[in-house]
Structure 1
Amino acid sequence: MSYDEVGQMDHMEDERDGVDSMDEMNEEYYAAEDEILDDYEMLTKVTDTSAAQARKGKDVQGIPWDRLNITRENYRLTRLEQYRNYESIPSSGEAIDKQECKPTEKGSNYFEFFHNSRLVKPTILHFQLRNLVWATSKHDVYLISSYSVMHWSSLLQNLTEVLDFSGQIVPTEKHPGSLSEGFTQTQVSTLAVKDRFLVAGGFHGELVGKCLDKPGVSFCARTTFQENAITNAIEIFNSSSGGLHFTTSNNDCGVREYDMERFQLLNQFSFPWPVNHTSVSPDRKLLTVVGDDLDGLLVDARNGKTVASFMGHQDYSFASAWHPEGRIFATGNQDKTCRVWDSRNLSLPVTILKGNMGAIRSVHFSSDGQFLVMAEPADFVHIYSTKADFKRRQEIDFFGEISGVSLSPDDESLYIGLWDRTYASLLHYNRRHTYGYLDSLM
């Protein structure tokens, strides 16, 4: 993202690009003025929604549509008409609208709604960065809520604070390069959690690392002391030697690789533009690098040299992911598309998948490679079948800004963080299975 865009960061009230939150919709559509306060208090006390309640007709977010003077269907049309997608390149979305994208069949049901947890309040600090939800098991989720990293156990229905960034954070371990004085009031821009390790990145290049099974913080460091230093993305991965490493993508045009055990910088590569996201190929030989440029790069992970570029997006990209087989990868862009590429032939994308109303800010392949999950900034998460050549998809439809989406490592759970002043929550979906052996007993 450009430095001007970094200046637009603060809380999403000022960054919603003309889209009302649900509580604003409530105020607008209530019939009697003298009943607004009572109705609003009722709305803000909405409880969790279970799968059983949803099957009986309760809205998954608990929105009481029968108390509103607008139907869900009509409000959906209003959102689609009024939502203004943020573009770094003017009219990039309109250019895509005029192109023919691959037709897809909507209506598949790969993941079923399981629970909506209102106790969990995900938040977003920067409107372009949405990697703030991470599932480490089908029951354990880590996310950003205000100035804290929180842990949610769907099994225990329990929310606990892991790290509070509002005060001072000081490392309890000694590592070369770690700042012994730590950080104060860190604004967390991005997060990554994997295998009991957590790394958070900040608006001024801060990096904070923690072992989840140890008390305290393991290290605090700065990627750079440049003014334009925001950490846009972090990816934790298993290195070819077997240890855990992580990469950071920064606004100072740098990509850095760190060792998780010693918390030491191993590699640093520079590019001609701010880097918004980097992902490592399954064989650890290549990096996808996307940022404030229309083109993306395939880079040699050992030396940072460009192997190839891929062209076609009309705006800047903020997401990328590799299929576990290591041949194809996907990129999410502000032109409202996700493009799937074959690393052996980058002249044209394998397919172009289009969002309903906004940029594609998160993309993830399932661990078994059967699904591609892509999330818009608000309201829609799409799940494509890779076995069906991306021709079939499930569309998850709700109302609210998406702080992040995450599949559990075993692909059994899908979590979606929703930020809204009234209806903030964590949506939980479970993988749908067909148990054929049960039919044989009938």
Structure 2
Amino acid sequence: MQTSYNQLYTKLQSCWRPTFVFLKRIMDHFHNNDLEYVVDDPFGDDLFREDEHQRNDDLDDAVDSEFEDDFESSKPQTDTSALEARNGKDIQGIPWERLNFTRDKYRETRLKQYKNYENLSLPRFELDKECLEVEKGQTFYDFQYNTRLVKSTIVHFQLRNLLWATSKHDVYLMQNYSVMHWSSLLQHGKEVLNVAKPIAPTWQRPGLLSKSLSRVQISTMAVKENLMVAGGFQGELICMYLNQPGVAFCTKITTGENAITNAVDVYHNHNGAMRIMVANNDAQVRVFDAETFASLNTFSFNWSVNNTSVSPDGKLLAVLGDSAECLIADANSGKVTGSLKGHLDYSFASAWHPNGQVLATGNQDTTCRLWDIRNLTQSLAVLKGNMGAIRGLKFTSDGRFLAMAEPADFVHVFDTQSDYVKCQEIDIFGEIAGISFSPDTEALFVGIADRTYGSLLEFNRRHCNLYLDSIF
């Protein structure tokens, strides 16, 4: 991952291009004075502003927190229900009828003008020939609800793991300096943690490297088994039990220019013990005990690690980063046991099928590769996005579906039982902050980061009893 924003700005200048005259430039400069908010499409952050004077709340206000009290949500007009969508309302609430262009025309132009960010300029002429021909037009998850009462935000344009569902009714996401909880059952939002204010760990034990923090810019997060883990832009690590007040453990695990925490994960090792894995830009992967927060191990690699994922049996570790090559390592020792070759750029996403035999990897070459862990010589299949890097990958817990998120506009859902040939394409507008299936596979959530139409989208798994919908 690139760490210098001056270098990143110079590189991205070459990606900027003319866009519609009706789009207002919302990033006149790359550095936000408070939170460095960078996305793949510098103009895509404010796609459909109706009022030029409307602006996003300044992040300095997050110090006093706009969410200190719960807010009730008797469905505002900005939200969209499944019934309204069936009656013709845009699921994001975009008023196409009041704009000077149609949705189809805007989609067509955006596909032509979008410039995918690349770190490596390797030839890609043969890539399309490798990609699987899929049957689009399937519907595995139906639109259920869209709310703007909670809005995802992104700190670093390459890191998009900022949304987690712990049930079909409970979702956690980042909004400025706040970790928010959204109840889709109650249609109610609540602030869980404000990281703009000073944070002091509640657990104090001898030898525990805890440290108070303040104004943390959360770059990645994970929520599993009642434990919320977040990584910060300056090497911070925050651990909080959702059923307990306060932050249990927080610290800075690394310092310096390459401090950013790129990925965090909560998993069970091969003995069943719960662990926390943290990947940083300093080419280190660190393992912590999820019960005591003691540091257990550190694995070193030759490049910045952007993403890690542990196999369901807790034995294998997928390591992805600033290399076209992905690695398979022993999850206990960190020893590299295999390599995955085929991608053409840096990788930022991975996911294991629940059977532990298939690994999916997402890359800035706009593809996801599927690997049979028993034979790493070549990928099983190559799945292609429409316009951008693959920055999010999630399997359902039953292994039936794989969700693949691009940086903006598209989430693809593949049916694994069709050998990934059948696909649902969720077509939206805006930067995608994260995707998450609920543990019971019944819901799919998508976080949209946009100053005007930022929102949380909910889709529900389609079953055979759809005729019931016509009754209501």
Question: TM-score, normalization: structure 2?
Answer: 0.85
**Are 1:50 and 2:81 counterparts?**
yes
Please say if 1:99 is aligned against 2:132.
no
CA distance in 1, matches of 2:109, 2:289: 48
Alignment identity in percent? 54
1:214-293 alignment, distance < 5 Å: 214-293=244-323
Alignment CA distance shift 1:208-1:386 (3 Å): same
Match of 2:194 in 1: 164
- Whether the 8 Å contact between 1:403 and 1:418 is mirrored in structure 2 is yes
Aligned to 1:111: 141
Verify: 1:372 aligned to 2:426, yes or no: no
Answer yes or no: is 1:77 the counterpart of 2:108: yes
Task: In structure 1, list runs of 5 or more residues that go unmatched.
Answer: 28-35
**Which region of structure 1 is more displaced relative to structure 2, 264-273 or 96-105?**
96-105
Q: How many residues in Structure 1 have an aligned counterpart in Structure 2?
A: 425
Partner of 2:220: 190
1:357-415 deviation line (CA, Å, top 9, x unaligned): 00000111110001111100000000001100011100000000000000011111100
Structure 1 counterpart of 2:377? 347
Tell me which amino acid in the other structure corresponds to 2:3: Y
**Deviation (angstroms), 1:3:** 2.6
Distance 1:18 1:201, change over 3 A: closer
Note the C-alpha offset of 1:229. Answer: 1.5
Q: Give distance in 1, aligned partners of 2:38 and 2:164.
A: 26
In 1: Cα distance, 2:152 partner to 2:54 partner: 24
Structure 2 counterpart of 1:386, from 410, 416, 424: 416
Given the superposition, is the C-alpha separation of residues 13 and 149 from structure 1 closer, same or farther in structure 2, using an over 3 Å criterion?
A: closer
Structure 1 position 243, deviation (Å): 3.0
The C-alpha deviation readout for 1:213-256, integer Å capped at 9, x for no partner, is 01111011222234311110111112333332111111110111
Write out aligned runs for 1:121-200 (5 A).
121-178=151-208, 181-200=211-230
Structure 2 letter corresponding to 1:313: H
Shift of 1:26: 4.9
Change (3 A) 1:190 1:175: farther
Query: Shift of residue 13 of structure 1?
Result: 6.2
Question: How far apart, in 2, do the equivalents of 1:380 and 1:269 lie?
Answer: 34
Corresponding residue of 1:32: none
**In structure 2, which of residues 306, 323, 329 is the aligned counterpart of residue 299 of structure 1?**
329
Distance 1:176 1:115 in 2: 48
User: 1:4 is matched with which residue?
Assistant: 4
Query: In the superposition, relative to structure 1, how do residues 289 and 322 fare at CA in structure 2: closer, same or farther (>3 Å)?
Result: same
What is the Cα deviation at residue 180 of structure 1? 5.3
Judged with a 3 Å threshold, the aligned counterparts in structure 2 of structure 1 residues 19 and 356 are, in CA distance, closer, same or farther, namely farther
Is the CA contact 1:132–1:191 (under 8 Å) kept in the aligned structure 2? yes
Partner amino acid for 1:398? I
Amino acid at match of 1:411: T
CA deviation profile, 1:76-118 (whole Å, cap 9, x unmatched): 01110111111111366x5465534110000111100000011
Give 3-state SS (helix, strand or coil) of 1:106's partner.
coil
Read off the aligned partner of 1:337 and give its amino acid letter.
T
Give the corresponding residue for 2:429. Answer: 399
Q: 1:282 to 1:15 in 2, by over 3 A?
A: closer
Preserved CA contact (<8 Å) 1:171 1:179? no
Q: 1:156 to 1:26 in 2, by over 3 A?
A: closer
Matched, 1:308 2:338: yes
Structure 2 CA distance, aligned partners of 1:84 and 1:345?
34
Is contact 1:172–1:219 with CA below 8 Å preserved after alignment?
yes
CA 1:196–1:373: 2 relative to 1, 3 Å: same
Does the 8 A contact of 2:220 with 2:261 survive in 1?
yes
Give the secondary-structure state (helix, strand or coil) at the position aligned to 1:183.
Answer: coil
Q: Please give the alpha-carbon distance, in whole angstroms, between the structure 2 residues aligned to 1:121 and 1:158.
A: 13
Question: C-alpha distance in 1, partners of 2:349/2:438?
Answer: 18
In structure 2, the partner of 1:429 is 459
Q: Shift of the alpha carbon at 1:148? A: 0.8
Amino acid at match of 1:58: K
Matched, 1:62 2:93: yes
**1:205–1:223 Cα contact (<8 Å) kept:** yes
Alignment CA distance shift 1:223-1:98 (3 Å): same
Task: Report how far residue 278 of structure 1 moved.
Answer: 0.5
1:330 counterpart SS class:
strand
Residue identity opposite 1:187 in structure 2:
Q
Distance across 2 between alignment mates of 1:106 and 1:180: 49
**Aligned residue in 1 for 2:442:** 412
